[in-house]
Amino acid sequence: MALQKNMGEQDRNIRLGVATVLIIVSFIVGSVPLKMLLSLIALVLVATSWLRFCPVYIPFKIDTRN
């Protein structure tokens, strides 16, 4: 089953920007669990940007492609 793209360029750029900020913050914070959580969230944002697909958008019928 192929994933149907539902993410536009602006959405991808915002996700990549937020992921970058989260990675930087994860290097600054001292708590290991918080570092892991921030890194995991950043990884999800990068993966969804790369795939151009967000599964959370499906139930809400959101498509940010223009």
Give pTM, 2 decimals.
0.89
Residue 61 is assigned to a structural domain of this protein: no
The predicted-structure confidence for 20-35, as pLDDT tens digits, reads as follows 999 999 999 999 999 9
Structural domain of residue 40, as residue ranges?
Answer: 9-53
The CA distance from 35 to 21, in Å, is: 12
Q: What is the pLDDT of residue 66?
A: 80
Sequence-distant (≥ 6) Cβ neighbours of residue 4 within 8 angstroms: 53
Number of domains in the chain: 1
Residue 58 is assigned to a structural domain of this protein: no
Residue numbers in the chain where pLDDT is lower than 70: 1
The alpha-helical segments, DSSP class H, found in 1-66 are 9-28, 32-51, 57-60
Residue 20 is assigned to a structural domain of this protein: yes
* Displacement of CA 22 from its chain's centroid (Å): 10
Residue 66 is assigned to a structural domain of this protein: no
